[in-house]
Amino acid sequence: MRRRTAALVAGGAITATAGIGLFACGSDGTGGPGGADSAGQANGSGPRLTVIDPYIPQPAKDGIAAGYLVVRNDGDTADRLVAVSSPLTPHTALHETVDNTMAHLDGVDIPAHGRGVLARGAAHIMFTDTPGPLRKGDIVDVTLTFERSGSVTVRVPVYGMADRPGDPGTATATIPVVPGRDAAAGAASDTAPSRASGAASDTRAAKATGGVPGRAGGHAD
């Protein structure tokens, strides 16, 4: 497959309401995630990232899914999404659709005072070999790793196949990326819809945290 870097998208702020839960973490040290750039964020010189409206459309078939979101940068320094991961499946990666052809991405650029966009038909998060069916109302934890700002784990809701954030029955979210923030700090902010109380969702939740590997399928996007 071709390997590309997603084109950056400049633009204004996107507003949203009703935050979805998150966990954030950063590594110690200098010049890397959670290190020297934490100070840059504090004095306004570094990137200031917010993850907006992450979601996964319910897949048309089992074993594969795609995720979408926007990363807004209100800071004076560019950043870059360099990796994604999820306990749902070890086969989680950045992909891009170009002329109906799939390409792996090395990263998604997030310009200063601009946005990095993962959207249908463009750059997106690809989940393959998922362990079972994903259904509307399920929640998937996804960790986003940024070149300067460290990592944040967001709880991504599964919507209906044609749903978008803000449609009836869906939530919208703004999730700040805070380098070095304790992982437990964001847990109480979870307001995403969840079906974890049902028996079927309990089974899917168990799979999403490292259960039986699922079958592979075609590309979801």
Is the distance from CB of 195 to CB of 215 less than 8 angstroms? no
Beta bridge partners of 52: 70, 174
Q: State the Cα–Cα distance between residues 187 and 86, nearest whole angstrom.
A: 17
Q: State the Cα–Cα distance between residues 104 and 4, nearest whole angstrom.
A: 6
**pTM for the whole structure:** 0.67
Q: State the Cα–Cα distance between residues 52 and 128, nearest whole angstrom.
A: 23
- The CATH class of the 2-208 domain is mainly beta
Is the distance from CB of 105 to CB of 94 less than 8 angstroms? yes
First to last CA, the chain: 16
Print pLDDT tens along the chain (221 aa).
444 433 333 333 222 223 344 443 333 333 444 444 444 545 557 999 999 999 999 999 999 999 999 999 999 999 999 999 999 999 999 999 888 788 899 999 999 999 999 998 899 999 999 998 999 999 999 999 999 999 999 999 999 999 988 898 887 888 999 875 533 333 333 333 333 333 333 334 344 434 333 232 334 44
